Amino acid sequence: MAQRERTENDVRQLPLRLDRELYQELSRRSTIENKSMSKIVRDALRAHFDAVRVTKPQLRAAIERIAHEDAEILEALGRGPQENVNGVPDRLPGDR
């Protein structure tokens, strides 16, 4: 298993909803293993993502799906800033 480097700035919070049965199992494991529930979840996610890799075809399919679903957004981004409805040009942050 590849070890990942991390710093305190790399930590992000994720709201997680568990059904009662899964929560109780997590609570039992926390008590038995003398680890926090957060540490158990982090370890399980790391193990899963290390074991289940995304293949190139899966990644290509995801990119194609996003490109299709967000075609209008991607097209607008490609055009760059446009004039708004009042005839005033849109400004990007940092424009002067």
Pairwise CA distance, residues 54 & 64, whole Å = 15
Angle between helices 56-69 and 71-79 (to 10 degrees): 80
Contact 47, 57 (CB under 8 A): no
37-55 pLDDT per residue, tens: 999 999 999 999 899 888 9
Nearest to 79 by CA among 87, 65, 90: 90
Q: How far apart are the first and last CA of the chain?
A: 50
Alpha helices by DSSP H, the chain: 20-33, 37-51, 56-69, 71-79
pLDDT of residue 92: 56
In the predicted structure, residue 86 carries a pLDDT above the cut 70? no
Q: In the chain, what percentage of residues exceed pLDDT 70?
A: 75
In the predicted structure, residue 6 carries a pLDDT above the cut 60? no
